[in-house]
Structure 1
Amino acid sequence: MEQNGALAARFTEHRPHLLAVAQRLLGPTGEADDAVQEAWLRLQRAYASGDPEIENLGGWLTTVVARLSLNLLRARRTHPEDPADEDRDAPPSDEPGPEEQALTADAMGPALLVVLDTLAPAERLAFVLHDVFGLPFDEIAPIVERSVPATRQLASRARRRVRGGGPTTEADVTRRREVVEAFLAASRNGDFGALLAVLDPDVVLRADPVAVSMAATNAGRGAPDLQPEASGADAVARVFAGRARAARPALLDGEPGLAFALRGRTMSLFRITVEDGRITAVDLVADPEAIAATDVVFT
């Protein structure tokens, strides 16, 4: 009982911050309170199961609330008819204290909420956690299941829109799609020079553990030797030269990329970050949960 009381006291210290994060991401709705309450329940379960001591409790709780909020934002996109925002103008169920008010003073502005609602869930989370709460990109990247460069790009796009730069234009998407399609054609044709032409000199390739395992399993059938990470245009071009024959252009959460499907089931994703006409990052995703959480539209 005493241990539970101590744990509750520690959680209470972080609660204003956690509620501020949830409200920034979700708006001042009951969902924000639910996310914070679920974080408390998960913390209790973690200690009850005998998990090792959590060294950075604030960071752990922030990550939990952020992931819960991301799932709720994705659910809104999937089921837009859900009345998640009907009580947006209603006050939170708990009366905020001075610290909480300071953290969320401008978070509830209707204009900002309207702009945030135009962002994709991952963009919204990357922007809020980094620009508002100062979380580094290497801590945000695992939450949104992107590489650090791709996460930085998410926040950059969101920042431009929030600051009045407007949403990404159709021309921007078209140009990035052209770069992705040029990369796919060069890869299929084994055109090493063409690959180098579309890859940034400092391009980074990252593959999740499932993708690495799949490549190892298919090594005998000519699949490339895939490592969790490779950097530099030459190294990345060698991985893809003559490969990706079964991949198809697709929009991944609205962004141009590639996807591979087998018998109607999406097996892997190629998240491609394009900056200034060149590819700066390629993230290979084969984890089923990450794929299921992605809106994939073949083009």
Structure 2
Amino acid sequence: MEYIALEKNYRFENNDEMLLLEKNIRENAKRPINPSIKKDSNVNFKLYKNQIEEAFGIVKKIRELQSKNINCKIAILVKQRGPNVNLILEALKYKDIKFFFGLFTDEDQRYIRFHETCLNKFYSIFIEKNRNLSKKNIEFYLNEIKKEYNDVSDAMNNSLFKLLHSFLEKIVNEFKGLQNSDKYRIIMDTFMNKSLRQNLDILDDNVIVTTVHGAKGLEWDYVILPDMEKNQFPNYHGLCNRNNCIFGDYCIFSVNETNEVEFLEELSVFYVAVTRAKKEVFFTASQRSFVSEDFQPETNISCLLRLPGINIKQTNETVSV
């Protein structure tokens, strides 16, 4: 076999800052112990006093972006659910920022069961009775799905229904030339593979909150990465529990042969998160992590923002709540 290296990244062809950031992260992956960095990437980073101020700082950034373009697409990507993320959700609601709740994963049992319900209902309503994918039949199908969840109305179920509706609209509108059998196959494959989540970017919502894992393969104009702190991104079970971290005013992860595999796994997640942005990515962190009202320990800026080739243009910001 012949190795062929692609030299040009067309995805960020006209975006020098994103192109440089993406390149420098890849250089860290190529040579983790001693990456070859020619020029640092200056990233947009804001540090807040606590998680509450960080949450309202994110709201402020969203409003700034929307004031320039009301239709721009913004994703808030988090490593995992937790108290910090809940504060962001509460701030969005408090400031009346409409958003799509996408904090579910492939392993979430409710997410899995929803696909199973959709598949079974689709088979009985469309396949067995050979019905066309008309708007009337789709509406009937959606109502039958909702009957299965009459007793449950929460953010996750509401999001799954909306995702299902958008997906079916996409099939009807974008695949008009296909035979019904081909459309059926696409729909059933989606349900069987539990991949409704891969349609997050077709939603009409301008703000989406989801996990980095859930954002794989998708893109938005702007991405906000909050909680860029020790034990958050990377999390404790990723890198932060390892003895070779050097703690001072900030975290530095020392890569060596014994921890290189774990480092590359976390770097891969970081790379996915950063490269979901078409135009720009914004990083935020706070000086104290929110565990509970009574316990908010001091923390450090994530070692991922201290990687060779990444220069954070740190701005300490105070936000009125």
Fold in common (TM above 0.5): no
TM-score scaled by length of structure 1 = 0.28
TM-score by length of structure 2 reads: 0.26
- Which is bigger in relative contact order (C-alpha 8 A, separation at least 6)? 2
More helix by share: 1
